[in-house]
């Protein structure tokens, strides 16, 4: 079978025509198969949703859930986190990876406390103005916490839309203006249903329309999926970015941070030198941690997690 042609206005691949038939089966599937995750429960509130969105970036649910629960038990409101040193956020982040997210979340909590009386703002523009909050996170919190109508484009949603509507196996490496336009065109008009669609399409990508082993036999929109109907043409775009870890500066940074997280106070250079033998890479990783604000150098060759 030939690959699908570019959508034509009013044609079967036109977003306005494609969206409505997708909504009901995906939302109905979600109502039956959605995972019971703590940040989806009413008691999570907007702060719980925000914390989950920071933690879930590039990190699987299985690793996030225990850290999330410990985090919310310790810091149930933004003001509780803002009252602590940034280094405590880095310490509590543990081994989730990409620890700058912990500093950004701490900065957002401080701004929420100062600007909004400790409550995560419901206004999308105010949320987007918070430090560390980008387009995706603002849309996700506004949608999932406050039931607003926003296009929420994470990797899973982008893959579902690429296959079901655009007819390609994978979306581009970086989110494009065309993807944003498509996602907005596919949003249900009613706010609550739009928020439900955002959560449902994300879950479909996470559980069924996965990157490597899609389960079309379990997909509620398989009969309408442009990629499946085209014979599942192989990806012919730029190579997809793979994530490596072993031997990288990321691994070295992680080992250095682990020493600092486990220490009750400042640690000497010698303790850090012990975790990685290659001195140039070790120094580069440590310099990067200092530059990112994740580590504070002190006198006499000592280092600690940041206090301010």
**Residues 6 or more apart in contact with residue 264 via CB below 8 angstroms:** none
Q: Report H helices in the chain.
A: 15-33, 45-56, 61-74, 78-82, 86-93, 100-115, 124-128, 135-146, 155-161, 177-186, 191-207, 226-229, 249-262, 269-273, 279-291
- The yes-or-no answer on residue 190 being catalytic is no
Distance CA 263, CA 55 (A): 23
Quote the CA–CA distance of 174 and 136 in Å, as a whole number: 13
Q: Which of 43, 53, 135, 278 is catalytic?
A: 53
Residue 37 and residue 65 in contact, taking contact as beta carbons nearer than 8 Å = yes
Alpha-carbon gap, residue 15 to 11, rounded angstroms: 9
So which residues are the catalytic ones? 53
């Amino acid at each position: 079978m030939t690959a699908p042609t570019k959508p034509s206005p009013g044609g079967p691949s036109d977003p306005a025509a494609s969206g409505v038939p997708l909504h009901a089966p995906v939302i109905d599937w979600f109502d039956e198969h959605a995972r019971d995750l703590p940040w989806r429960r009413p008691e999570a509130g907007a702060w719980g949703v925000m914390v989950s969105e920071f933690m879930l970036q590039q990190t699987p649910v299985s690793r996030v859930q225990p850290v999330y629960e410990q985090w919310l038990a310790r810091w149930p409101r933004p003001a509780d986190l803002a009252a602590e040193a940034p280094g405590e956020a880095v310490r509590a982040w543990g081994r989730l990876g990409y620890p700058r997210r912990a500093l950004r979340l701490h900065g957002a909590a401080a701004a929420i406390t100062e600007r909004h009386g400790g409550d995560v703002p419901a206004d999308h523009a105010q949320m987007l103005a918070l430090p560390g909050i980008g387009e995706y996170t603002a849309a996700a919190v506004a949608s999932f916490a406050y039931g607003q109508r926003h296009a929420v484009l994470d990797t899973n949603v982008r893959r579902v839309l690429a296959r079901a509507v655009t007819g390609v196996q994978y979306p581009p490496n970086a989110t494009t203006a065309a993807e944003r336009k498509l996602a907005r065109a596919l949003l249900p008009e009613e706010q609550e249903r739009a928020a439900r669609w955002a959560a449902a399409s994300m879950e479909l990508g996470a559980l069924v329309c996965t990157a490597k082993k899609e389960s079309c036999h379990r997909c509620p929109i398989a009969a309408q999926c442009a990629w499946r109907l085209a014979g599942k043409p192989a990806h012919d775009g730029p190579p997809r970015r793979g994530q490596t870890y072993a031997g990288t500066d990321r691994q070295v940074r992680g080992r250095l941070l682990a020493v600092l997280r486990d220490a009750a106070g400042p640690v000497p250079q010698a303790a850090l030198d012990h975790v990685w033998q290659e001195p140039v890479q070790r120094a580069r990783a440590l310099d990067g941690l200092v530059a990112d604000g994740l580590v504070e150098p002190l006198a006499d060759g000592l280092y600690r997690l940041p206090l301010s």
